């Protein structure tokens, strides 16, 4: 097997996950990655983890605003309304 | 309620609509502003200026982009005019990337010896759990720049990689490299929660 077609290792595969999810691997890289994934529960699990993390990060959303900051911004809004 | 519905209400001076928008976006605005300016106080100021610009400009918003995209564009413009530091292009070393998974989890041949712990249950059944929410938000907050700005825009706010690259002045390739490193840390944090078990 040549270097170009050898299987990726798990250590290498985990570093391809973002590019894979973003659709930015070359066709050959994607094939090698998917070929590995099909036979590796660990890396399949890793990809599932990253998918879960992305979904959870979006679902959880940004930090809650502290009440003092919110009050300050609402005051700004009232002041602006008064001016306009 | 949709951003667009809230905007309609904001147009007629509805304070609750403003509260809702601010609650939804202010912390992310501060996060992203922090990438452009060099102190937390300056970032807070830029985010405030952004809301003033929104109030001034809301009647001109035409809905050609989403409100979210418009909002972050205003923020970036405010950051640039706020006398922010000259942002040098962040050097992103794509050739030599540090590993994002602890090397001790692989054997000498590069195969898993300590494989990933599934997170599906954690994020599907326990997403309301304060511990999980805290773990995710803390992990994002602790990311160094530019990872924090990239993860906030891409994963917390769900903008496209193209939009993130335009907002931060990075190439899409660099956005992906930075995203990869940032996500890996959030992943590690959540896996830590899964392994520690939920209380
Ligand atoms: Zn593997």
Q: Which residues pair with B106 in a beta bridge?
A: B112
> Does any CB of chain B come closer than 8 Å to the CB of residue A76?
yes
Kindly state the DSSP code that residue B106 receives in the 8-state scheme. Answer: B
Q: Which residues of A touch B13 (CB under 8 A)?
A: 81
Task: Return the number of CB contacts < 8 Å for A and B.
Answer: 148
Confidence of residue A56 (pLDDT cuts 50, 70, 90): very high
Query: Is the separation of the CB atoms in A18 and A53 below 8 Å?
Result: no
Question: For a pLDDT cut of 90, what percent of chain B falls above it?
Answer: 73
Domain boundaries in chain B? 3-86, 90-197
Distance CA(A76)–CA(A81), nearest Å, equals 9
Residue of A nearest to B106 (CA): A11
Q: What is the pLDDT of residue B83?
A: 55
Distance CA(B49)–CA(A80), nearest Å, equals 12
Query: Per CATH, the architecture of B3-86 is what?
Result: Orthogonal Bundle (1.10)
pLDDT digits (tens, 9 = 90+) for B169-191: 999 999 999 999 999 999 999 99
Domains, chain A, ordered by start: 10-83 (1.10.10)
CA A37 to chain centre: 18
Structure tokens belonging to residue A39: 């036979």
Task: Find the radius of gyration of the CA atoms of chain A.
Answer: 23
> Does any CB of chain B come closer than 8 Å to the CB of residue A67?
no
Distance CA(B140)–CA(B144), nearest Å, equals 9
Query: Is the separation of the CB atoms in B163 and B172 below 8 Å?
Result: no
Q: Is the pLDDT of residue B118 over 90?
A: yes
Burial B78-112 (b: 16+ CB within 10 A, else e): bbeeeebeeeeeeebeeeeeeebbeeebbeeeebb
Q: What is the pLDDT of residue A17?
A: 98
Of B31, B137, B183, which is closest to A60 when you measure between CB atoms?
B137
If you measure from the C-alpha of residue A69 to the centroid of ligand 1, how many angstroms do you get, rounded to a whole number?
47
DSSP line for B130-149: HHHHHHHHHHHHTPPTTHHH
Distance CA(B102)–CA(B86), nearest Å, equals 35
Class of domain B90-197: mainly alpha
Structure tokens belonging to residue B131: 């511990």
SS3 track for B16-74: HHHHHHHHHHHHHHHHHHHHHCCCHHHHHHHHHHHHHHHHHHHHHCCCCCCHHHHHHHH
If you measure from the C-alpha of residue B88 to the centroid of ligand 1, how many angstroms do you get, rounded to a whole number?
38
User: Can B3-86 and B90-197 be said to share one CATH topology?
Assistant: no
Distance CA(B6)–CA(B66), nearest Å, equals 13
Nearest of B3, B47, B4, B51 to residue B28 by alpha carbon: B47
Distance CA(B36)–CA(B80), nearest Å, equals 7
Helix, coil or strand: residue A46: helix
Structure tokens belonging to residue B107: 């054997």
pLDDT digits (tens, 9 = 90+) for B56-85: 998 888 888 899 999 999 999 998 877 555
Predicted structure pTM score: 0.91
Residue of B nearest to A65 (CA): B23
Mean pLDDT computed over every residue of chain B: 90
């Amino acid at each position: 097997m040549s270097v170009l077609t050898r299987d990726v290792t798990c250590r290498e595969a985990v570093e391809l996950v973002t590019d894979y999810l973003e659709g930015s691997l070359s066709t050959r890289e994607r094939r090698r990655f998917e070929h590995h994934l099909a036979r590796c529960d660990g890396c399949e699990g890793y990809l599932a983890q990253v998918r879960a993390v992305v979904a959870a990060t979006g679902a959880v959303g940004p930090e809650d605003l502290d009440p003092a900051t919110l009050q300050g911004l609402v005051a700004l809004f009232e002041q602006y309304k008064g001016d306009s | 309620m949709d951003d667009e519905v809230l905007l309609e209400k904001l147009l007629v001076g509805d304070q609750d609509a403003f509260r809702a928008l601010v609650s939804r976006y202010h912390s992310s605005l501060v996060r992203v502003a922090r990438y452009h300016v060099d102190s937390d106080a300056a970032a807070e100021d830029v985010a405030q200026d952004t809301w003033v610009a929104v109030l001034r400009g809301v009647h001109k918003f035409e809905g050609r982009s989403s409100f979210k995209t418009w909002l972050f564009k205003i923020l970036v413009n405010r950051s640039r005019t706020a006398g922010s530091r000259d942002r040098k292009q962040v050097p992103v070393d794509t050739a030599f990337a540090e590993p994002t998974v602890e090397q001790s989890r692989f054997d000498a041949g590069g195969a898993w010896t300590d494989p990933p712990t599934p997170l599906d249950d954690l994020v599907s059944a326990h997403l309301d759990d304060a511990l999980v929410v805290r773990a995710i938000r803390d992990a994002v907050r602790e990311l160094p720049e530019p990872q924090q700005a990239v993860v906030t825009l891409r994963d917390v706010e769900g903008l496209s990689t193209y939009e993130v690259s335009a907002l931060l002045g990075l190439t899409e390739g660099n956005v992906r490299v930075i995203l990869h490193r940032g996500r890996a840390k959030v992943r590690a944090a959540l896996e830590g929660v899964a392994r520690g078990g939920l209380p």
